[in-house]
Structure 1
Amino acid sequence: MSSTRQSNTDRRLGREECRKKLSEHIHSRLGIKIIPANVRLNPRTNDPYMWRVLPGKEEFFAKVFFKKLSDHSISTYRLLCKEFGKTFEAVEPSPQCVTQKHISSVAPEPSFRTMIDNLKKRMRDFIKKFTN
């Protein structure tokens, strides 16, 4: 009976955690339940989501999203878990957004996080203008 190397176990656990977090993100962002095992970095054309990447980060994430989730290292799983919702997010697929196989930097609408961040900035600028 052979034992599994600890690094393989850690990688599998990292991949499972990453799939779970991406699945939860898709659900919270779009209201779509995708079981973690079915989450893809490069969704198929009939999948109900795609990934939108923050402008300026497309080249880096194109390399990440080009590969299957199972082909990545544990460091990539950690990066994806840290960056979803910040550097990239799930969006509904639409013909005008599809650029690189379900990876887009063109957005049909800003995310709530983007809108909130913009409003916070406008509020800080407004307060600064009238307190100086």
Structure 2
Amino acid sequence: MGKTSNEKRGQLKQQCREAMSAHIYDRLGVVVEPIKVRLQPSVEDGYAWSVTASHAYLLKTHLSHGGVGFFQTICKELGRSLEAVTPETLQNGLSQAQESPENDSSGAASKEEGSFTAKIRELEATNRDLRGELDQTSTRLESALDEGRTLRAKNCQLEREVETSISTVKRQEEELARLRGGIGQVMQVLGNLYPQNNLGPRETSAAAEP
């Protein structure tokens, strides 16, 4: 004769409690009788539950109110997306929990090192470090861009000054050429007006004697 739904539910609930109790002990070294296992334990119980966002709903239901599918999911996700951690780990982060003497003496910290919660905290810390490095890099890049813009502005100013200097020199060269042309014309006119100007006084008086 097959089991009734209530009998199957009761059996799965007991199996679920036993699996959770064993998981708590394996993970934290904390002994909790299956009948006393809870999904919303208090700090005094010495354990807490860490769960991924996709299975957060598991912690919103009391074990006594769960159904067959609920218990099956908990048993399946234990150690995968649902695991026992110390209350300190859940509240303050893995690093603070590992520094706690109580956690070190119980061996809980070393047990948590291989958990997905520890991995998530490690990834979060790495992500914070990367964000910090990215912020520093962005600051340095912005500073370099500002310096580049300043140098470009100075370069444009120098180019304008060079162009102005070239234009000035060109005008001065044109003016000098004009002045030279004018002086040449004056000299030519003077040469035409005084063609004998090259003769000295003695040469003129000597030519006048009989």
TM-score between both structures, scaled by the size of structure 1: 0.66
Match in the other structure for 1:90: 84
Distance 1:107 1:69, change over 3 A: farther
- Equivalent residues in 2 for 1:17-28, closer than 5 Å: 17-28=15-26
Provide, for residues 45-96 of structure 1, a one-character-per-residue CA deviation record: whole Å limited to 9, x for no partner.
321100112xxx32x43322112111011111011001110111101111x7
Alignment equivalent of 2:37, drawn from 33, 39, 50 = 39
Deviation at 1:97, TM superposition (A): 2.5
Q: Mean Cα displacement is larger for which, 40-49 or 17-26?
A: 40-49
Q: In 2, are the aligned partners of 1:52 and 1:107 still within 8 Å (CA)?
A: no
Q: 5+ unaligned residues in a row in structure 2: which ranges? A: 99-111, 120-210
Alignment equivalent of 2:58, drawn from 59, 64, 67 = 64
Percent identical pairs in the alignment equals: 31
Residues 1:8 and 2:6 aligned together: yes
- Partners of 1:111 and 1:85 lie apart in 2 by 13
Which amino acid in the other structure matches residue 33 of structure 2?
I
Q: Show structure 1 runs of 4+ deviating over 6 A.
A: none
Name the structure, 1 or 2, with higher relative contact order (CA <8 Å, separation 6+): 1
Match in the other structure for 1:112: 114
Q: How many residues align?
A: 101
- Equivalent residues in 2 for 1:112-131, closer than 5 Å: 112-114=114-116
Distance 1:76 1:13, change over 3 A: same
Of Structure 1 and Structure 2, the greater helix share is in 2
Deviation at 1:113, TM superposition (A): 4.6
Q: 5+ unaligned residues in a row in structure 1: which ranges? A: 100-105, 118-132
Pick the structure with greater CA Rg.
2
**Aligned-residue CA RMSD (Å):** 2.5
Q: In 1, are the aligned partners of 2:48 and 2:90 still within 8 Å (CA)?
A: no
Which amino acid in the other structure matches residue 32 of structure 2?
I
Deviation at 1:107, TM superposition (A): 4.2
